[in-house]
Structure 1
Amino acid sequence: MASRWIRPEVYPLFATTGVAVGICAMQLVRNITTNPEVRVLKEKRAAGVLENFDEGKRYSQHGFRKFIDGKRPEIMPGINSFFSDPPKY
């Protein structure tokens, strides 16, 4: 039975599925541990709605968002500028 599923052709499928599960797990852990709107402990849930704007801003403006902030939303900027910008003589 194992030889039927464990073939070299299936390795990319296992790899992509593993990466997707890893990304989902990372996001789940991030939300449970740092999201200001998620309260796991009963004592914190009893507090009700909190006006904690600083904590919310820290959560939403994480390191990756700060890294890409201000950059053009392009995948290959060199190729895009070569084909879209007029030549500079």
Structure 2
Amino acid sequence: MDTQHALDNTRRIAADAMERASEKVRGLRTGASDYANRGMSSLAGGASTAQRQLGEYSRATTRYVGEHPLKSAVIAAAVGAAVAGIVIALRRHQRSDEI
């Protein structure tokens, strides 16, 4: 009978331990889900803010180009020339590394 009693006690202790572990896992899962939801909300808010700011920049740029078309063309040409110069310099640098 002592063996049976020991087995019953062991089963009860194991069942209690499993129940506590299950509760902890449920709590961790809920916490992880809450963190993920907060993170997604934060990302969505950041994307919305970025989209709104880009719209504002686009409107301001359109307005500036309309008010100063010649100056805008000169700025665009200068930026294009600078980008082309950087690309050419990088290509030359790559070729000199290959040789």
TM-score using structure 1 length: 0.35
Higher helix fraction: Structure 1 or Structure 2? Answer: 2
Higher relative contact order (CA 8 A, sep 6+): 1
